[in-house]
Amino acid sequence: MRDPSSVPSPRWHRPRHGRRGTLALVALTVGALLAGSVPALAAGPAHHGAAKEVSAFDAVDPFIGTELDTTQNKGNSAYGNTYPGATVPFGMVQSSPTTYRTSDGDQKGGYEYTADRIRGFGMTRLSGTGCEGRFSGFDFPVLPYTGELPGGALPRSPASDIASYYLDFDHADESAQPGSYTVGLKNGVRTSLTATTRTAVNHYSFPADRGSSALLVDVAGSNNRVYDSEVTVEGRTVSGWVEAASVCEGGGHYRAYFSSTFDRPFTAYGTWEGGRVTAGAAHAKSGEAKHGAGAYLVFPRGAEVTARTGLSYVSVDGAARNAEQETAGHSFEAVRAEAARTWKDALATVDAGGGTRERRVKFYTALYHALLHPNIMDDVDGRYPGYDGAVHRAERGRHVYATYSGWDTYRGQAQLIALLFPKVGSDINQSLVDLVEQTGSWPNWPHLNQSQQKMTGDSLQALVSAVDAFGSTDYDRKAALDSMVRTQSLPAGSSKRTNAQQYFSTGFVESSTGDSATSKTLEYAIDDFAIARLADRLGDSADRAKFMARAQNWQNVFDADTRQIRPRDRDGFDRGFNLGERGDQFDQATGYQYGWMVPHNVAALVEKRGGREVVAEELDRHTRSLDAGVYDTEGAYLSNQPSFSMPYVYNWLRQPGKTGEVLRRAVDEMYDTSPKGLPGNDDLGALSAWYVWANLGMSPSVYGTANLVLSAPLFDRVTIDSADSARTIRVTAPGAGGDQRYVSGLKADGRASTKSWVGEDFARRGGTLDFRMGTAAGTWGTGADDVPPSYTEGSDSRNETGTTPDGKGGLGSLDMSGHSLSREKLAAAGASPGARLPFGDTGVTFTWPKAAPGEPDNWVPHGQRVDLSGGDARGARASGISFLGLATNGPAQGTAVVEYADGSRQDVDVRLTDWTPGTDYRFGNVPLVTTEGRNLADGTADTARTVVLATAVQALDPSKRVRSVVLPQGTDRGVMHVFDVALAGVPGA
């Protein structure tokens, strides 16, 4: 036996302030195991009676979220799709049962509480994903078998009839706690599971009165499609590999390896390959057949058998090494005890006090579920398979983390990890930087070492920025930002964002492309905001400004006429679209639900929607139903991600009491402690993390920052201890666990504060929040200066790139179709960057934009303010105003507003002809720049004649001074493009 002291300790470091920290593990080894009894397993679901305050560990019920609520039809599955099996925080292994329901043959692909049979005990699992039936994982399932073995062989090949080997069970014979699971099967076998980081340790207790004591290793039994597999039996070890499809079966396929060593020899063994079972055979290979190859292992009747099964994504040798270093010489009970201690340390990072037993069960189960992903990918020797197909080695002292549900987890789960486990956060960010280095691009849903696209948005950039904002900065930050800027700039060939060329050029994705076009624009704007915040933290002002301008692109799909975010095509807004339907414009949600998803600039959203009073009424109406789904509804959908930030909009409306009301209603109405207790797919911990933040009274809902929007806590006291860090956050809210539901006052770090938020320094360094609670909403957070920040930078910037160098049409697009104006032809016509363009004898002289190739050179109007003061603080004297621009798919008309220095305003019409009008110049437009031939995105050119037009000069009050003009909030049809605005001087002035 090895000297246990030589094994790196898996335990979290105890910070100087006295609490335990987080994952400092190279592997969850058991080198420092304590002898003694193992805590009794939790009693499964719905066993939570009244008692004194239950501990965090004992409060976790792994069965919560395992049952689909068939009474709900909301659009997505109405259950968490969690699993009750054994794992450790961020572990590579998830040792868990997977089920089958005989009444209808429903397998779900995971563990579903209404099932009556177990399909086996697998080694891998994704917690909470969608794609019902195609969840992936469940690699190398094992089935205990007690039937007859005629001639020493299985009676039939599992490849031909796997269902006959499924295992009857009853929930009354199940139990689970963090790190372990046990079930008594109807065939008399008692199966217990536990795990280290990379190793499943399973114990099987066979009955002595049955036909045999055997284990079937279904090496080709993965949940999704199998491409190939192989199994070998040698001595007391069975090993092999499988190549299987990734989550949803829509992306790549991964190869997983295992090596399972048993604590007693086999009395017999054999394999199956296709329909043939061969006693004594030691090798089998399946090809693409599901369940096509495997091994069966026979033990004496009534045997007690323990298997230590290492997992690796590098090699069989790596899997064997993982098992050896993590578990050799340690009993099942010892490993289970260490897994429990590991979870106790992890859960102790949040010490919540007060509240009912039920609330504690829901809270700590949510925290548990939030810590299951992402997962360590490197073996104990540091090797891991890269996204480029090569084997790499993790830097000493670090881990590589894999599997990210980006669209879901950037909205709170990643921030929770960064707050509680800052070292893990840094390793996550470095893992993603390495991913981009290996692939050249940013995917949004990488699974294991497969670079994949699922859902919309480019959310891993937002995730990295958010984790960085919370202080997890021990990674190559510059490389992260450089890769974001490189891949998310024109030309769009390195971007994984669908419709990236159109979005980068014109500032929105047109609705005719379908595929959630409108919500893509909102997601991309959030992603760009997150990039801008990372640039700001790194002192890169140029890229901050560039991406802040793009962060305001949500305004391109805001319809000023209906005051709603809605689908927009090149011909205008689709005002007949039913915003209550999911349709093809909004991903997994409705337009009403996405209508609140501008977390970084809520103030502008509120203003555009009609102001605080109007918007408060709309939000009140929206939150009457908190989980309405997506079928012809104006209600919210708080069990799905697009609604996650919505309740906190009340803070910007200066009604933080209503934020607390909505959160408490959601916590009480939507969540419970039954197997149906999660109202939607947990999506790798995203929904559970939202629940945790809702209870804490703070939320990182301005994604890409560490600002915390405050609400009424649901516990009397909370202490958050960041692991391996001196950061501590202490929250007191006496009475919050009872009837004191509203914040009536606050001291932040000992100082009275009426603000309903705390800034980024608080999340990074820690501090104290002492809430004074009451039974009714008061004045706290209701002042104009109390609201959380809105990031308005870039709102007035040019936002469309319509000119390109010849042969490089991919550097822009003016018309949603990849056509752009030639910079060379423009220059030949007098419109070189910075050139002066006089408008006849009107007294107006325009300046052609100085934008570099690939950078915005015109405004698509959504209310941008253009400074016309000429640098004079008093404003400029003017007799008239004209606009230089054109329309695509036009003409296009709108109303601008001239702002005088005395505070008065004057409406002026902006009406522009299409850019290829022939001789039909409307509205008195005059062509100032004419070119022959447009550039195309593929580098070629056409022969179309184009014009850039000046609008007829409109008179202004010459007795006043002009400060600025606000461009139209929207246009009637087409897309308007404004290159410059200029004033006519006052004669003799």
Read off the pLDDT of residues 473-515 as tens digits, 9 standing for 90 and up: 999 999 999 999 999 999 999 999 999 999 999 999 999 999 9
Question: Which is it for strands 293-299 and 276-279: parallel, antiparallel or unpaired?
Answer: unpaired
pLDDT at 466 over 60: yes
Could you tell me how far CA 653 lies from the centroid of its own chain? 26
User: Token match 């945790």: residue?
Assistant: 692
- Cβ-based neighbours of 496, under 8 Å, separated by 6 or more: 441, 442, 443, 444, 453, 458, 487
Dihedral (Cα; 367, 369, 370, 372), 10-degree rounding: 130
The reported pLDDT for the residue numbered 36 is 27
How far is 319 from 323, CA to CA, in rounded Å? 6
The identity of residue 843, as a single letter, is G
Residues of the chain with pLDDT > 70: what percent? Answer: 95
Higher-pLDDT residue of 256, 110: 256
The identity of residue 507, as a single letter, is G
Write the pLDDT tens digit of every residue in 690-748: 999 999 999 999 999 999 999 999 999 999 999 999 999 999 999 999 999 999 999 99
Write the pLDDT tens digit of every residue in 525-567: 999 999 999 999 999 999 999 999 999 999 999 999 999 999 9
Confidence of residue 457 (pLDDT cuts 50, 70, 90): confident
CA dihedral sign, ordered 416, 421, 423, 424: negative
Write the pLDDT tens digit of every residue in 848-868: 999 999 999 999 999 999 999
How far is 682 from 392, CA to CA, in rounded Å? 31
pLDDT at 677 over 60: yes
pLDDT at 167 over 90: yes
Closest CA to 721 of 13, 16, 88, 20: 20
Write the pLDDT tens digit of every residue in 38-71: 233 343 443 433 447 899 999 999 999 999 999 9
Compute the radius of gyration of the chain from its Cα atoms.
31
User: Token match 């001789």: residue?
Assistant: 919
Q: Is the peptide bond before 491 cis (omega within 30 degrees of 0)?
A: yes
How far is 974 from 573, CA to CA, in rounded Å? 9
SS3 693: helix
Q: What is the pTM of this model?
A: 0.95
CB-based contact 606:615 (threshold 8 Å): yes
The reported pLDDT for the residue numbered 570 is 96
E strands in 386-507:
391-393, 401-402
* 757: phi then psi, degrees, rounded to nearest 5: -165, 160
H or E segment at 564? strand 564-565
- Mean pLDDT for 330-348 is 98
Could you tell me how far CA 582 lies from the centroid of its own chain? 20
* 868: phi then psi, degrees, rounded to nearest 5: -120, 15
CB-based contact 194:95 (threshold 8 Å): yes
pLDDT at 455 over 90: no
pLDDT at 440 over 80: yes
The identity of residue 368, as a single letter, is Y
How far is 77 from 69, CA to CA, in rounded Å? 8
pLDDT at 632 over 70: yes
The reported pLDDT for the residue numbered 17 is 38
CB-based contact 885:893 (threshold 8 Å): no
What value, to the nearest 5°, has the Cα angle with vertex 363 and ends 360 and 369?
Answer: 135
Pick from 18-32, 659-673, 819-833: least confident = 18-32
H or E segment at 51? none
How far is 645 from 648, CA to CA, in rounded Å? 6
Closest CA to 722 of 11, 10, 19, 9: 19
Q: Is the peptide bond before 891 cis (omega within 30 degrees of 0)?
A: yes
The reported pLDDT for the residue numbered 10 is 37
CA dihedral sign, ordered 216, 219, 220, 225: positive
Cα first-last separation, the chain: 97
Pick from 159-163, 205-209, 453-457, 913-917: least confident = 453-457
Confidence of residue 682 (pLDDT cuts 50, 70, 90): very high
Q: Measure Cα distances from 859 to 311, 345, 751, 973 in Å.
A: 55, 54, 45, 16
Write the pLDDT tens digit of every residue in 76-118: 999 999 999 999 999 999 999 999 999 998 877 799 999 999 9
- Mean pLDDT for 897-909 is 98
pLDDT at 762 over 90: yes
SS3 187: coil
Write the pLDDT tens digit of every residue in 913-966: 999 998 889 999 999 999 999 999 999 999 999 999 999 999 999 999 999 999
Joined tokens for residue 152: 């020493």
Task: Mark residue 154 as left, alpha or beta (left: phi above 0; alpha: psi -120 to 50; beta: remaining).
Answer: beta
pLDDT at 804 over 80: yes
- Mean pLDDT for 801-824 is 97
The reported pLDDT for the residue numbered 32 is 32
The reported pLDDT for the residue numbered 912 is 97
Write the pLDDT tens digit of every residue in 596-621: 999 999 999 999 999 999 999 999 99
Angle of helix 357-370 relative to helix 686-696, nearest 10 degrees? Answer: 130
The identity of residue 791, as a single letter, is Y
How far is 315 from 321, CA to CA, in rounded Å? 10
Query: How high does pLDDT run on average in the chain?
Result: 93
CB atoms within 10 A of CB 577: 20
pLDDT at 33 over 60: no
The reported pLDDT for the residue numbered 670 is 97
E strands in 674-724:
698-699, 708-710, 717-721
Write the pLDDT tens digit of every residue in 975-986: 999 999 999 999
Could you tell me how far CA 543 lies from the centroid of its own chain? 23
Name the strands in the sheet holding 803-804, side by side, starting at the edge strand that comes first in the sequence: 803-804, 819-822, 934-936
User: Token match 């796997």: residue?
Assistant: 162
How far is 283 from 855, CA to CA, in rounded Å? 61
Angle of helix 517-537 relative to helix 459-469, nearest 10 degrees? Answer: 30
- Cβ-based neighbours of 590, under 8 Å, separated by 6 or more: 579, 580, 581, 582, 630, 633, 634, 637
How far is 213 from 207, CA to CA, in rounded Å? 8
The reported pLDDT for the residue numbered 35 is 26
SS3 432: helix
User: Token match 């007693």: residue?
Assistant: 264
pLDDT at 453 over 70: yes
Write the pLDDT tens digit of every residue in 380-435: 999 999 999 999 999 999 999 999 999 999 999 999 999 999 999 999 999 999 99
Q: Measure Cα distances from 842 to 592, 900, 947, 989 in Å.
A: 47, 21, 19, 15
Write the pLDDT tens digit of every residue in 353-379: 988 999 999 999 999 999 999 999 999
CA dihedral sign, ordered 109, 110, 114, 118: positive
User: Token match 């570099």: residue?
Assistant: 852
